[in-house]
Structure 1
Amino acid sequence: MAVDDRTETAGESAADGAGTGTGTGTAAGATAGTGRPSVEISRRRLLGTVGAAGAGGLALGAVGGAAGYAAAQPEPGPGLSSLGSSSVAFTGEHQPGITTPLQARGHLIAFDLAPGAGRKEAVALLRRWSSTARRLMEGRTAAHDTAIALDAGPSSLTVTFGFGHSFFGRAGLDKQRPFALDPLPAFSSDHLDAKRSNGDLWIQIGADDALVAFDALRALQQEAGDAARVRWQMNGFNRSPGATEKPMTTRNLMGQIDGTNNPKESESDFAKRIFVPSDGAADPAWMAGGSYAVVRRIRMLLDDWEKLSLTDQEKVIGRKKSDGAPLTGGSEDTEPALDKTGPDGKLVIASDAHARISRPDQNGGAAMLRRPFSFHDGYDTDGVPEAGLLFVCWQADPMRGFVPVQRKLDRGDALSAFIRHEASGLFAVPGGARDGEYVGQRLLES
């Protein structure tokens, strides 16, 4: 969608909230009580041009405030790379950030409604958040811009919103809580920190530029105001687009190719597995076109893993580390020959190999769309890396997606000795907002 290349006035900002009740402040001067200029400027305007062919670039001077940047406009330079100019639509049948290709940078953040806040405050909050997400995903500035990402394009920014089990009671919407949002069962391998788990509201942010992603994180946290408080927040990353000679399945921090068996949109049953039906069969109706996100912070015990020989690492996974091919031969996309035995009569892919146990055909066809980020939060007091996977998976029903697979893994996955599940959450993610809607409107105004 083409973005208006004008300096945005109060009237334009009010139009941005049309149908949602979200107006912003005055067009000139400072926002009351903040000292920040309230002139809202398209980031693309600062790059010179806007259009389907890409935006032009500027070398911005060291001038304070958004208005100062707008006044200091040198001659346009080269256009944005395709990485910077790529954008994802905010509206649609499904929310962005589910089938969007993996992004280089991600933030996960959960909020709890503030004491005394309820449905009224939640409505106002989701209106503000939706308006801000829409603006930033189009490459425009937030209402009170910090200039963090002022010289960047949208960089495939996505913002995805979800509701936790506890939200419905606090918002007086118990009758609208989906059965699929019942708490996940306990697993024997869990070492969960309650303070970093669950939450009333959840946001996933992804972008191909770290500053664009952080800009969105900061803007949404500020927009929470007095209505909600941060419960936990986690930062992740993936390989940057274009870092490899050809597109490849990403690797995790164990060096393994990760995501080979993900369901593909081209498969006839993809939508049925990942999304709640949009044909009127959704229960509850407000979840039509939505999905359920399971979020797990999985610590990788990298020191122990890296002590294994390459051969032993490959036995644990059941695939070659070099190219992700099954140990029974072929390429990454070759179906493993699970019954194949070696000269010693033993299975080539061991009975407890991760690749065997996690396969859909070993779990009654259970499938989920894995869309994780790696994380590294430094080192603990013993010098052990706080690193691993921010596991995010999507499915139409977690009891038919994540739960049966995790139960199977919990009973005898060879990889379990080298990972630790430290935090967990389950969130109902409604379908995408229509034009003029805010995310969750069909729930909150039901």
Structure 2
Amino acid sequence: MSKTRKQAPARAQAATAVATCDGDGAAGDGAAPTGVSRRRLLGTAGATGLVLGAGGGAAGYAATRPEEPAALTTVGATEAMFHGKHQPGITTPLQARGHLVAFDLAAGAGRKEAATLLRRWSAVAKELMAGRPAAGAPDGPGHDTGIALDAGPSSLTVTFGFGRTFFARTGLTGRLPAALDPLPVFSADALDAKRSNGDLWVQIGADDALVAFHALRALQKEAAGTARVRWQMNGFNRTPGATARPMTARNLMGQIDGTGNPKPSEEDFGRRVFVPASPGKPQEWMEGGSYAVVRRIRMLLDDWEKLPVERQERVIGRRKADGAPLSGGTETTEMDLDKAGPDGRLVIPDNAHARISSPEENGGAAMLRRPFSYHDGITEDGTPDAGLLFICWQADPFRGFVPVQRKLDRGDALSPFLRHEASGVFAVPGGAAEGEYVGQRLLES
């Protein structure tokens, strides 16, 4: 669910709610994302909540500003909901800026300390996602820095997950899901252990870079003394609203990426993406949650860009200009995997990436891909350190990611242009109900 907040031109107007519908909320089992959104018209005193709702720096900044803050656009005003059946950041449309960060619990920290941290993190995330300052939980060290004072919610989402090692460190091995078993080794793996896995995982996304960084900084501060950063990765996507109509994003190879994603309107969407209820079983705390497979995939762009477009299209199996399958039609036309050309060869080659990764070729296995691109500069050999922060969501990685990646591993024409440099699997519990923090059903069970 999301809602859009706007500032009204009249100084005297306070927060007035107006109902509207935006359709980008969390999806239920087999149903399209639904959710009633609200437009909140805020007075120009910096959104009254910004002044009255903070106990620290941001409130002071707002109170002493010499001019009225600018009204928010739709991009800045859109607000994702913290509470719900599912955590935000899973079915949320792609965001312009993202941070992925993994933490390891500090020496001596266990279940009690982890619960306290998740309680603090949830309180901060709820405030920031509403566009309010991160005043911090009552028992936390939080103090808002004012970094995102003017930006509004900007579709901020914060998503929390648990790695396999978290369960031993908190004495919860009896609740460890089998879905967190280590992934198989794949031929394209060149994994850096220091940038893989972790006890805790946080995904931050927003449509404003300052809002995303603000959330990252606030959560890192809250973790002090309880958990330390293991690794962090920063990503980006096209800015929402840059095109007149929504379009599937392109990756750094210039290819439209995400056409074959499961759609919330599909009958089995919820079954594929979210964990069903399992009353009385050790993993019942995962109801409404999902499993995230996170892979840092470096693209060998210099090699890729040497290929003529026609060759690139045969590697992918789709036209580069519009994402349509080589068998014809538009981006959303189903691939005709049996169609042959005048020469008798398959129009979509048998080793094309789109063919090999399609559910039809993998016994129906599917996952919801929601990536960010990344660029971390130029390496010593002069090649760009750039590629994809691949994130996919599924009810079980061994029914979603693993069978597809195994198939790709055996002959994907795209594999020579990719290098998997980091990896992790995280159990992302269902959303927090009102009055709950994320992970409470695990940590207090």
The answer on 1:351 being equivalent to 2:343 is no
Distance 2:317 2:4 in 1: 48
Distance 1:282 1:110 in 2: 28
Aligned counterpart for 1:130 among listed residues 109, 113, 122? 122
Amino acid corresponding to residue 395 of structure 2 in structure 1:
A
Partner of 2:385: 386
Please, which moves more after superposition, 104-113 or 272-281? Answer: 272-281
Instruction: Tell me if structure 2 keeps the 8 A contact 1:125–1:227.
Output: yes
Tell me if the contact between 2:85 and 2:288 (Cα under 8 Å) persists in the aligned partners. yes
Corresponding residue to 1:83 among 57, 75, 86: 75
What is the CA-CA distance between 1:445 and the residue it aligns to? 0.6
Aligned-partner SS, 1:180: helix
Task: Please tell me whether the aligned partners of residues 56 and 78 of structure 1 are also in contact (alpha carbons under 8 angstroms).
Answer: no
Task: Map 1:35-74; keep pairs closer than 5 Å.
Answer: 50-51=15-16, 52-55=39-42, 65-73=57-65
- 1:242-276 Cα distance to aligned partner (Å, 9 max, x none): 11121100000000000001001111110000000
Aligned to 1:329: 328
Tell me the amino acid that sits aligned with residue 87 of structure 2.
Q
- The 3 A distance-change label for structure 1 pair 109 and 78 is closer
Closer, same or farther in 2 for the Cα pair 1:313/1:146, shift >3 Å?
A: same
**Which is worse superposed, 146-155 or 279-288?**
279-288
**What is the CA deviation profile of residues 309-358 of structure 1, one whole-angstrom value per residue up to 9, with x for unaligned ones?**
00000010000000000011100001111111111111110000000000
Structure 1 residue 152: Cα displacement: 1.4
Aligned-partner Cα distance in 2 for 1:47–1:254: 51
**Structural mapping, 1:26-425, within 5 Å:** 50-51=15-16, 52-55=39-42, 65-73=57-65, 76=68, 79-143=71-135, 144-278=143-277, 280=279, 284-425=283-424
**Is the partner of 1:412 in helix, strand or coil?**
coil
Maintained 8 Å contact 1:370/1:394? yes
Query: 1:4-30 CA distances to partner (integer Å, 9 max, x unpaired)?
Result: 9xxxxxxxxxxxxxxxxxxxxxxxxxx
Determine what percentage of the aligned residue pairs are the same residue. 71
The 3 A distance-change label for structure 1 pair 47 and 58 is farther
SS of 2:79's equivalent? Answer: coil
Is 1:434 the counterpart of 2:418? The answer is: no
- 1:408 is aligned with what amino acid? K
Give the AA of the match of 1:326. P
Structure 2 gaps of 5+ residues are: 6-10, 17-38, 48-55, 136-142
2:410 aligned counterpart, secondary structure: helix
Q: Which amino acid in the other structure matches residue 228 of structure 2? A: R
Question: 1:329, 1:205 → 2: CA distance?
Answer: 38
Q: Distance in 2 between matches of 1:422 and 1:314?
A: 25
* CA deviation profile, 1:387-423 (whole Å, cap 9, x unmatched): 0000000000000000000000000000001010000
TM-score (norm. length: structure 1): 0.87
- Partner SS, residue 433 of structure 1: coil
Match of 1:36 in 2: none
Distance 2:322 2:393 in 1: 25
Count of residues in Structure 1 that have an aligned counterpart in Structure 2: 404
Report Cα offsets for 1:178-216 as digits up to 9, x if no partner. Answer: 011111111111000000000000000000100000000
Classify 1:121/1:373 alpha carbon distance in 2 versus 1 (closer, same or farther; 3 Å): same
Q: Which residue of the partner structure matches residue 28 of structure 2?
A: none
Per the TM alignment, residue 67 of structure 1 is displaced from its structure 2 partner at its CA by 4.3
Cα separation, partners in 2 of 1:345 and 1:282, compared to 1, 3 Å: farther
Shift in Å at residue 225 of structure 1? 1.3
- How far apart are the structure 1 equivalents of 2:324 and 2:434? 44
SS at match of 1:132: helix
Deviates more, 1:393-402 or 1:334-343: 334-343
* Residues in 1 aligned to 2:41 and 2:333: alpha-carbon distance in whole angstroms: 39
Code of the residue aligned with 2:402 in structure 1: it is V
**Residues 1:174 and 1:65: Cα distance change in structure 2 (over 3 Å):** closer
Q: Distance in 2 between matches of 1:422 and 1:86?
A: 34
User: Structure 2 length as normaliser, TM-score?
Assistant: 0.87
CA distance, structure 2, for counterparts of residue 47 and residue 387 of structure 1: 49
Aligned partners of 1:58 and 1:75 also within 8 Å: no
CA distance in 2, matches of 1:181, 1:258: 27
The alignment partner of 1:233 has SS state of strand
Alpha carbons of 1:49 and 1:312: their partners in 2 closer, same or farther (altered >3 Å)? farther
Question: Do the aligned partners of 2:236 and 2:373 also contact (CA within 8 Å) in 1?
Answer: yes
Amino acid in structure 2 at the alignment position of 1:80: L
